A and B are shown apart, each in its own frame.
Chain A
Amino acid sequence: MKIDCHMHVKGRRRSWGWGDNDKIIDAADRLGIDKLCCSIPITSGMPTPAEVQERNDDVLEAMKRYPGRILGYCFVNPGYRKEAIAEIERCVIKHEMMGIKLYNQYKCSDPAVYPVVEEAIELKIPILEHAGYVSDPAQAARQPKISHAGDFVKLAAEYPEAMLIEAHIGGGGDWEWGIKTLRHSPSVYLDTSGSVIDEGMIEMAVRELGAERLLFGTDMTMEGGVGKVTGARITESQREDIFWKNMAAILERREQS
């Protein structure tokens, strides 16, 4: 059993490098991934509520097309507070999306994000936030408001009851820095996705944070996402936790409410 906590679907205005979303299901079938939690974030600028809604509608379309396989995150821009909350309620309450996706419009510790976090707590859903501690200055300059582990620590201190997921340990930033920074913030989960498949990454995360805080993800690096978890020197029980049990427990909180 595998639940991919960090994946994307193609939309009308967002292509990720594959032709049709059938390719996702084909990839998942070949790699034994049962469910994929997907979003279509807008990855630059300050998207308007209309732009955000269009992306979420495309995710809803994919959820309808592949029921039970594609689950949806509602992407919002916290800068439009009232509209963001209304969009979350539309997507989660009316259309049964499973979580909220935030990108780099604000650092997650910015008070502008707080109403979204409070809504997530109310609805018992997780927030997956794009993240990375990018040590290359040129790369970092491209995303001045990308959140890093230190921002998650601050937010978790404000809202310890929130289910926060720091995205892609292998997303290209200094993953050792990220893991060590999260040590003392037990409410923050870390997702294992990203194109970096450095040997020892998963073992260090298990050692420092515990397998119960790690969630399997691909973020479109499909074989790498699965392979880094299967290849890690951890116990089978820890692998099961990472591959699906931890995420299943997160999803159950909303289902049981």
Chain B
Amino acid sequence: MIIDVNAYLGHWPFRQLRHNTATGLLKLMDENGIDKAMVSSINAIFYKNSHSGNEELATEIKMHRDRLIPSATLNPEYPGWKDDLKQCHEDFGMSGLRLFPHYHNYTLGKGKSLDMIRDATNRGMFVSVPIRVVDRRQRHWLDNVSDLSISDIEQAMRECPEASFIILNSGGFHNTKLVRDEKLRSGNFLIEISRMSVVLQEAIPRLMEVLGPEKLAFGTGMPFKYPAPALLKMQVLKAPEEVKEKILWQNAARMLK
């Protein structure tokens, strides 16, 4: 079993994506042996009223709920988010909230953002946060958004210790408080692996040593990125099968309970 915690559906305004419909993504998943994927709406990042993207996502995956696990994307600074979150959870059956603070121009660990994280947590939803969507070096001239800092997520984790976080598209955690601070380290979070290595720099094995395999989750970044590199990492990881199973799906499944 493989669960990808880092997948998306929809249109990215600055580069043509393939496999970005439900059927397209499922075909790509089938070709790569990926059973389930946690998805959110790319459109919701760019719509002023993000919730329209959630409505589109709910319709798009209606027939594929056994394999595509939706997360809501909302902007806490935009009116109506409480009602929208309620609808995403209660009517659309969304089990997560995926946040893009830099695209929506707010600070993750302050103000209304914390209200939204707490509301989602009270509903039993996990909160996933991509550090970046695309590499800044190749950004479109209208896409002036920088990477999120790990410290932004650490701040939100401190403020909302009861919340469950999944950190997506992060490059490394060397010397971050998340790995050094015992209280933060013992929090309920997962780190997704798509931007970290198993061989050479060995970021993944080193994180496993510090945090334990219970803190890591398989993710690809589909359809932005090729899924093959993430799968290859799991192949070459020197770890017992039961440890790989945790990373490949068990840790992600824990977030869904």
Contacts and interface: CB of A to CB of B under 8 A. Distances in A.
Interface of A: 17-18, 23-24, 26-27, 30-31, 132, 134-136, 139, 171-176, 195-200, 220-224, 226-228, 230-232
B222 A199 contact: yes
Contacts of B15: 176, 198
A195 B135 contact: yes
A228 B18 contact: no
Across chains A and B, which 4 residue pairs bring their CB atoms closest together, nearest first?
A: A231-B228, A227-B229, A172-B137, A27-B199
Interface residues of B, number: 35
A17 B199 CA distance: 11
B86 interface: no
Interface string B18-34: 11000000000000100
A135 B229 contact: no
B233 A17 contact: no
Contacts of A18: 200-202
A171 B135 CA distance: 10
Contacts of A135: 137-141
Contacts of A173: 137-138
A96 B235 CA distance: 35
A197 B226 contact: yes
B183 interface: no
B141 to A, nearest CB: 7
Interface of B: 15-19, 32, 134-141, 195, 197-202, 221-233, 236
B229 A139 contact: no
Question: Could you say which of A30, A196, A199, A224 has the most chain B C-beta atoms within 10 Å of its C-beta?
Answer: A199
A16 to B, nearest CB: 8
B174 to A, nearest CB: 9
A222 B200 contact: yes
Contacts of A176: 15
Given A18-B200, A223-B198, A228-B229, A172 B19 contact: no
Question: Could you say which of A24, A30, A226 has the most chain B C-beta atoms within 10 Å of its C-beta?
Answer: A30
Contact of B226 (A31, A171, A172, A231): A231
A231 B235 CA distance: 14
27 contacts: A17-B200, A30-B236, A31-B236, A135-B139, A173-B138, A174-B138, A195-B195, A196-B138, A197-B226, A198-B224, A198-B225, A198-B226, A199-B17, A200-B16, A200-B18, A220-B200, A222-B199, A223-B197, A223-B199, A227-B229, A227-B230, A227-B232, A228-B226, A228-B228, A228-B229, A231-B32, A232-B226
A221 B203 CA distance: 12
B138 A221 contact: no
Contact of B229 (A26, A27, A200, A231): A231
Contacts of A27: 199-200
A223 B229 CA distance: 5
A174 to B, nearest CB: 5
Question: Could you say which of A23, A136, A172 has the most chain B C-beta atoms within 10 Å of its C-beta?
Answer: A136
Nearest to B231: A227
Given A198-B15, A200-B18, A222-B200, A227 B228 contact: yes
Contacts of B225: 197-199
A136 B232 contact: no
Contacts of B140: 135
Contacts of A221: 197
Contacts of B226: 197-199, 227-228, 231-232
A69 to B, nearest CB: 14
A60 B136 CA distance: 35
